[in-house]
Structure 1
């Protein structure tokens, strides 16, 4: 099924999807590195957030923001390549 979907997608759509994935991967690794730095710089706040459950909420909230940004970038690339007009 995936091969059929890949065959039907135009090259401009593949470019837009690839750019969206690249943006997501870069921002995801920046989020991971930022969380590790935060944990080492502020151990007391880290322990409080870990005990109260705020650390997982914060990570998921920021991860959701990254997904939205990646989707918006992919949509803008779709728009710039006139993929919506076909």
Structure 2
């Protein structure tokens, strides 16, 4: 069976399912260990995605600032 592409949204949905399963108290010891490992991997993935988006937003703000500064500079030139 083919795995769906991992996205932030699919990762957070899977994390919610893992938490629900762990909270149910029905997972055995081995399953709990496997779920915790999978959850950790998903949390790390989500943190990386959030980091990347944050960096992208910073770059956009920097680009916008540079453009405004350049526009202001051009407006003050004779």
Higher Rg of the two aligned structures? 2
| TM score, norm. by length of structure 1 | 0.44
| TM score, norm. by length of structure 2 | 0.48
* Higher RCO structure (Cα 8 Å, ≥6 apart): 1
